[in-house]
Amino acid sequence: MSDDAAAEVRDLIARAGVLERAGHVRDAIGVYEEALRREERTEILLHLGHLYNDVGRLEEAIAVHRRVLARDPELPGGHYGLGLAYYRGAWIEEAIRCFERVVELDPGWVTARYWLGLAHYHRGDLEQAIAAFRALLEVSPDFTIAWYHLGTAAAQRCDSELMLAAFAKVLERNPRSHGAHYHSGVAHFRKGNLDEALAAFRAAVEINPEDRKSAENLRALEEMRMRFS
C-alpha cells in the first residue's frame, strides 16, 4: 500500500472514531467498512465488531470477530467481542467458552468476568455464576452491578446470608436502589427478621411507590405484625 493510500485509511479510521464517540453509530459503521475495504486491519475489525454488536447485527459481528481471531488467535478482544455477539444471540454455551478464554488470556478483564457470570446465571448454573461474580469482585470490589447480580444469584439459590452481604454492598454505594432493598427484605423475611424485613420493604416502596412486590410484601408483613402483636 502506498503512503497516500495508508494516509487515507488513517483518516477514515480517525473520522469513524469521531462519529463513534459522537454517537453516530451507523455513520461510523459505514466509514469503518470503507476503511476495511481499503485495508484489512485488526483495529478496524475490532471497531466494526463492537459496533455491529451495538446495533444488533450479530451475524456480522460474529464473522468480523472470527476474522480477528484468524489473524491473532490469542487476542482477548477478539474472544470478548465474539462472546458478546454469542451472548446477545442467546448462544450461551459459545459465549461462556469465549469469556472463559478472555479470562485465561487476561485475568484482569473484569467485564469479561461479568458477562461470564451473567451467561452462567442465564443458563441456570448458579454455582458457576456466583464463582464468576466473586472472582470479579476480588479484582474490582467497586463493581456495584456485580454485587447486585451476585445477590440475585444467591436469591435463586435461597442463600439468605449471601443475599444480605451482596445487597448491603449495593446499598453502601447506592442507598436508593429499591431492588437491593426489596431483595434484602426477602432475605430478612426468610431468616425470620421481621423488623428488618419491614424496614427494607418500606424503604423500597418509599423509593419506588410503583414497586408492587415490595408494597404487597409490606402490607402482608404489617398485617402479620398486627395479628400476632
* Residues 6 or more apart whose Cβ sits within 8 Å of residue 131: none
The predicted pLDDT at position 51 comes to 96
The predicted pLDDT at position 7 comes to 82
* Residues 6 or more apart whose Cβ sits within 8 Å of residue 6: 39
Record the cell numbers describing residue 30, joined without a space: 459505514
The predicted pLDDT at position 55 comes to 95
Helix/strand/coil percentages in the chain, nearest 5 = 80, 0, 20
The predicted pLDDT at position 224 comes to 83
- pLDDT tens, N- to C-terminus, the chain (229 residues): 566 678 888 899 999 999 999 999 999 999 999 999 999 999 999 999 999 999 999 999 999 999 999 999 999 999 999 999 999 999 999 999 999 999 999 999 999 999 999 999 999 999 999 999 999 999 999 999 999 999 999 999 999 999 999 999 999 999 999 999 999 999 999 999 999 999 999 999 999 999 999 999 989 988 887 777 6
Write down the CATH superfamily of domain 141-229: Tetratricopeptide repeat domain (1.25.40.10)
Long-range contacts of 67-72 (CB under 8 A, 24+ apart): 67/40, 68/42, 71/42, 71/45, 72/42
